[in-house]
């Protein structure tokens, strides 16, 4: 299967960008590549008109991953950050440098309304959602590791030097710090107490 390109542009054809066979890149918006970037086989990248995707450089988007920028939004990925297999990053997202995004991590900045009265269907609410009100940017600091299957909900701000354990669901902001978040909702793993001498 050959790679598929829509709307080729000089920015997409940047010397540092390598797109493996079978990867799909759909770009009507802005794609900036600051250095070497690999889009692996089977990965999907979508940048609609009015949106932007920025790679700082030395980035890998491995096979099966999906990067889908929200309309009018942007995804920014820092230096030496890797997005591993089958990860999904949707909407308006900022990821720092030196991060590891493990397989099957999911993050989306979009939310949807819910009508507890039941007078409107989920599909009606989804269709009528105002994008500006329903987008809450996700921010991941530098030197973070998001474990296999971790989920970051809209509006999460994850401080630098944070590990998110496998399968954890991060529902709120966490400050910078050398901490490990586990569980659903994610909470810091208790630090071991010092042993008596």
What is the rounded CA–CA span in Å between residue 35 and residue 14? 9
Distance, C-alpha 87 to centroid of its chain: 8
Q: Are 151 and 107 in contact (CB under 8 A)?
A: yes
Cα distances from 153 to residues 55, 101, 174, in angstroms, run 22, 15, 13
Q: Which two tokens stand for residue 187?
A: 């909470």
**Could you confirm whether 178 is annotated as catalytic?**
no
What is the rounded CA–CA span in Å between residue 143 and residue 150? 16
SS (H, E, C) 94-121: EECCCCEECCCCEEECECCCCCCCCCCC
From 26, 112, 161, 178, the catalytic residue = 112
What is the rounded CA–CA span in Å between residue 152 and residue 43? 20
Residue numbers annotated as active site? 112
């Amino acid at each position: 299967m050959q790679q598929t390109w829509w709307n080729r542009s000089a920015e997409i054809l940047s010397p540092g960008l390598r797109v493996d066979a079978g990867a799909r890149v759909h770009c009507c918006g802005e794609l900036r590549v600051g250095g070497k970037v690999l889009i692996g086989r089977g990965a999907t990248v979508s940048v609609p008109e009015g949106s932007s995707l920025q790679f700082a450089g030395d980035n890998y988007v491995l096979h099966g991953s999906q990067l889908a920028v929200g309309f009018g939004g942007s995804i920014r990925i820092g230096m030496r950050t890797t997005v591993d297999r089958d990860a999904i990053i949707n909407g308006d997202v900022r990821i720092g440098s030196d991060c590891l995004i493990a397989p099957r991590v999911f993050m989306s900045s979009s939310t949807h309304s819910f009508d507890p009265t039941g007078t409107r269907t989920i599909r009606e609410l989804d269709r009528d959602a105002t994008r500006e009100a329903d987008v809450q940017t996700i921010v991941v600091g530098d030197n973070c590791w998001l474990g296999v299957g971790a989920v970051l909900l809209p509006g999460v701000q994850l401080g630098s030097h944070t590990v998110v354990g496998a399968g954890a669901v991060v529902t709120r902001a966490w400050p910078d710090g050398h901490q490990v978040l586990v569980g659903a909702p994610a909470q810091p793993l208790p630090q071991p107490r010092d042993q008596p001498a």
